[in-house]
Amino acid sequence: MKVTQNVIHDLLPAYLAGEASADTAALVEEFLRLDPDLARTVESLRANPLPDLPVALKPTQEKETLNMTKQLLWWRGVLMGLAIFLTMLPLSFGFHNGRITWKFLDSTPPLGAALVCLAALTCWAGFLYVRRRLQATGL
């Protein structure tokens, strides 16, 4: 396999950071001996390295992130449970004298049914919102 300049460009960040294996460093150095233009570019990068960016994290940042994730997981469970319950409530039924009777719909005024449906939709929206926030954590 022929090593091209694109392959060396891909290896340069690890090589310049000193994180490349001995074999990779030898491969890059051999290529730099054969390509003086790229060797000059690498030397200029070594002479003027990028400054390290300061990391301004609070000492308690990890603990706060963990606590927030735990809280979001708790809310996800609660909202999903409520959403399922409120979704199934209007669909609850029973058997009376050989007939299926809808318990909730028969005995609930229209405003009550509408409020339960609205509450179910709100819980599903909250669940989806929390789920989306948790996707950033990979959970």
Residue among 86, 122, 129, 128 at smallest CA distance from 104: 86
pLDDT at 124: 93
Matching residue, tokens 């469970």: 77
Question: Phi and psi at residue 93, in whole multiples of 5°?
Answer: -140, 170
Residue 123 identity: C
Q: Mean pLDDT, 10 residues at a time, over the chain (139 residues)? A: 82 85 89 88 80 76 88 92 86 75 71 86 93 81
Quote the CA–CA distance of 93 and 84 in Å, as a whole number: 16
pTM value is 0.48
Task: Give pLDDT, residue 1.
Answer: 66
DSSP 12-23: HHHHHHT-S-HH
Residues 78 and 71: beta-carbon distance below 8 Å? no
